[in-house]
Amino acid sequence: MTDRIHLHLLSDSTGETLEMLAKAALAQFDDANVVRHFWPMVRSRQHLDRIVPELNANPGLVLYTLVNQEARARLEEVCARNGLPAVPILDRVTEALEKALGQEAHGRPGRQHQMDKAYFERVEAIQFTIAHDDGIAWENWEQADIVLAGVSRSSKTPTSIYLANRGYKVANIPLVVESPPPAKLFELKKPLVVGLTTAPERLVQIRRNRLLTLNEKTETSYVDNRKVKDEVAFARRMFADNGWPVIDVTRRSIEETAAAIIRLLGERKSRDGDLFEGVKAI
């Protein structure tokens, strides 16, 4: 078993796709000691030649997404000469799509990041979501795609931001027993309203850690076990009374929660916009 490996990531664009794939693959290995070398925007042989000394000095696995044929050929030549395994991670997918679509790929670097309509819609979604965090600007909630409701520290904001980066306009509202939400929340037609809940014990722990990081007292009703249980029960009753789908985030990552919400949205769209009947616990 190797104590440590060097992982070189070479991309002709921002490298975001490459990093995500590498991260997902590495997550399958326990305690992997990996030294990452990240080389984005590699679009010419000259640029690649400046990286070659680093490859020679730190031999390891090379993952790349390069469409420039000259740069690719140079990288493959260097890797073959030095016995470095090199994997063009998108080639198999691109080849399969070419076969399925009956046309050749364009081979333009950074094409997935071009500023097209979808790009500007994503920017707009992010701006909307930031402007409608934590119950702000509730008058505009009807413009949202998704509205998340839940007690404090139930992952509403990070989930909203993640969804916004996927192109969804999201608003979120904290549910407080002593302060009823705006009536607008119960009148929404276009947005999918989703309730986020979590185990009270876990919620107390998260809130306590939050207070500690802020150097605040932890002996408050905010982390009182009984009051927190009452808060969660209050929120669940509201979800049930309004027939909103509910997602328990206790053991879910932000990505898993977002995926469940996107699936719910897709299910609703496939039903021609019909509202959900009853609580759908996930």
Binding residues: 150-157
Sheet of 5-11: strand order equals 34-39, 5-11, 61-65, 86-88
CA separation, residue 38 to residues 41, 139, 199 (Å): 10, 44, 39
Annotated binding site for ADP: 150-157
Helices (H) and strands (E) in the chain, counts: 9, 8
Instruction: Using CB atoms within 10 Å of the CB of residue 1, give its burial: 0 to 12 exposed, 13 to 18 middle, 19+ buried.
Output: exposed
What token pair was written down for 115? 């500023």
Q: Which two tokens stand for residue 110?
A: 């950074």
Is residue 79 within 8 A of residue 85, CB to CB? The reply is yes
Give yes or no for a contact between 9 and 18, defined as CB atoms under 8 angstroms apart: yes
Question: How many other CB atoms sit within 10 Å of the CB of residue 27?
Answer: 9
Sheet of 192-197, strand order: 170-174, 146-150, 192-197, 246-248
| Alpha helical stretches, state H, the chain | 16-26, 45-57, 69-82, 91-101, 117-131, 156-165, 200-213, 225-242, 254-270
Q: What is d(CA 111, CA 13) in angstroms, rounded to the nearest whole number?
A: 8
- Tell me which DSSP letter residue 90 carries: T
Q: Which two tokens stand for residue 16?
A: 């975001």
